[in-house]
Amino acid sequence: IEEALDELRQLGVAYERVPWCPEGITLSQEQKQRVLESGLCEAGVLYPQSLSSMLATLIFDPQPLEEILDLCAAPGSKTSHIAARMENRGALIANDSSRGRVFRLQANLKTLGVLHTKTVCLPGEWMWKKYPEMCDR
């Protein structure tokens, strides 16, 4: 987090910390454009995400070494936040029923350095019936 914030300061990008989410920041529309043009998102340093998505992950409260099933994972914003909260340790099954969206999910997770995730493309109902006992969340 601090490395990403240092990058923003070096670029002269003004941001505000989200008080209820340690890894969250907000940017003005102008600052968002500067960040998008900077290449920080393409490099996996930052990932744009809505505050409501961040809140969902915090309520979900993933922990390191847990086994977690994300049924609607693409394009990867909540999945990557879950992985970060798990400190890239544990097992994360990232499912989306759309094959095209799974490819985007895989690319985003790779860019963000998410290591412990298996991506699948199956109907969510089937996944839930198959895996509820094996997953912590």
Task: Give me the residues paired with residue 92 across strands.
Answer: 68, 117
How many residues make up the chain in this entry? 137
HSE-up of 3 (CA within 13 Å, CB side)?
Answer: 5
The pLDDT of residue 133: 74
Question: How far is C-alpha 46 from the chain's CA centre?
Answer: 10
Q: How far apart are CA 133 and CA 135, in angstroms?
A: 6
Q: What is the pLDDT of residues 73-88, one digit of tens each?
A: 999 999 999 999 999 9
Beta bridge partners of 16: 26
Reply yes or no on whether the pLDDT at 132 is more than 70.
no
Q: Is the pLDDT of residue 127 over 80?
A: no
Q: How far is CA 120 from CA 28, 58, 126, in A?
A: 35, 24, 12
Contacts of residue 68, defined as CB under 8 A and 6 or more positions apart, other chains included, come to 62, 82, 86, 90, 91, 92, 93, 135, 136, 137
What is the tens place of the pLDDT at every residue in 50-69?
999 999 999 999 999 999 99
Residue 121: pLDDT band (50, 70, 90) is: very high
Residue with tokens 């990557």: 80
